A and B are shown apart, each in its own frame.
Chain A
């Protein structure tokens, strides 16, 4: 589109939004079904996070490139179609080249279609922006989502099994080894079960709110001290 608009795009804001301020899982609170279901181990979490990110980047790019040709009335069905197409492609590729991972993640790969975070970015960002910002947005949001998945995976795997990277070989090949943190650990079953996922997510949300609050107070203080008319980041 027009050049002055492109140069004005604030990339660092896009990145900050995706990773933290408007994080799909912690701020938009979208895509919780896979978030809660597959975070039993780090590797599952990482695999689904990466698959989701690939779909997100591809769909953001496609939507931003095609946005002039998509009539407003039918944009949602077309977004769904584009996302479903990319999910199917990612599913085929995983089935072909990462078979063990594909069997472990099972239904949650096709279910990426229903991850509202993806259509949310298509509608909320990619349909209004150029290709490059849309890719950056896809990467940032994808990383933000993957980060939360992995954080939850770490919490649950360490508590439930006392290990890190269990079954890493199914994603990363034979060189990857499992790190056992506690020998003869009896396991904390709650962390592996669905309630553990909910509680873990609740803790992460609380942690984000605490940090945001701390940062807000600090910004507010520095403003009053320096009397600089800076607007603090708000959610």
Chain B
């Protein structure tokens, strides 16, 4: 009697599982292409915001190479480099940089540089900084990130690659110094790496 109830319940539960999984699979099947397309468009938008759309002639989202875990870039695991080409030649790359020591956790950036090591653009991908204070690094909250394009390892000089409070040239925010300081430091380290080992970024 008892075992009859158990096997009946088990069967019903199993059946319910199969039906639900079937439904989810169906929806997955019909939304899969749209999801891929949405992610492609979002990434394209992000990359175009730091590497001008008309400067390259390739499909930058799919022109990728693996970037091994790298301590200088704060990358704990393998990531991707996106390459911008003109007539087949790589003239700029975009890659993730992590400031591991933000005020409340890692700050994930996307940095674009050209072959001369000059910054084309920076984007904040994600962060956990304080709303209203540290989150002004986001481009939709302030134009703080706009001071980076055009800068390189030589410009400004090594001592000036700091926030103003530390004697450098980059702005900080009232009430939030740590966040901008760590972002500046992370970008500077990435530029130094690009200077000493350009192959990390520009090798085919």
Contacts and interface: CB of A to CB of B under 8 A. Distances in A.
Given A85-B24, A95-B38, A97-B38, A70 B131 contact: no
Interface string A158-194: 0011000001000000000000000000010100110
Contacts of A69: 12
Contact of A71 (B8, B17, B35, B140): B8
Interface residues of B, number: 25
B9 A89 contact: no
A95 B31 contact: yes
Contacts of A193: 130-131
Interface string B1-32: 00001001100110011001101100110010
A18 to B, nearest CB: 26
B9 A73 contact: yes
Contacts of A70: 12, 16
A74 interface: yes
A82 interface: yes
Interface centre among A69, A84, A92, A103 (most CB of B within 10 A): A92
Given A99-B38, A160-B132, A93 B27 contact: yes
A78 interface: yes
A152 to B, nearest CB: 15
Contacts of B34: 96-97
Contacts of B24: 85, 88-89, 92
B136 to A, nearest CB: 10
A71 B131 contact: no
B16 A81 contact: yes
A100 interface: yes
A89 B23 contact: yes
B31 A40 contact: no
Interface string A94-106: 0111011001000
B132 A92 contact: no
Interface residues on A, range: 20 to 34
B104 to A, nearest CB: 11
B204 interface: no
Contact of B131 (A99, A103, A189): A189
B82 to A, nearest CB: 19
B200 interface: no
B23 A189 contact: no
B133 interface: yes
A167 B20 CA distance: 34
Contacts of A82: 16, 20
B28 A74 contact: no
Nearest to A196: B131
A74 B42 contact: no
Contacts of A192: 131-132
A79 B160 CA distance: 61
Given A73-B9, A85-B24, A93 B31 contact: yes
B197 interface: no
A102 to B, nearest CB: 8
Given A85-B23, A160-B132, A193-B131, A99 B39 contact: yes
B108 to A, nearest CB: 13
Contacts of A92: 24, 27-28, 31, 35
A80 to B, nearest CB: 10
B130 to A, nearest CB: 7
B18 to A, nearest CB: 10
B12 A84 contact: no
A82 B13 CA distance: 11
Interface centre among B13, B17, B41 (most CB of A within 10 A): B13
B152 to A, nearest CB: 31
8 contacts: A74-B13, A89-B23, A96-B35, A99-B38, A99-B41, A100-B42, A160-B131, A192-B131
Q: What are the 4 tightest A-B residue pairs by CB atom distance, in nearest-first order?
A: A96-B34, A85-B20, A99-B38, A96-B31
Given A85-B21, A97-B31, 8 more contacts: A71-B8, A71-B12, A74-B13, A78-B16, A81-B17, A103-B42, A161-B132, A187-B132
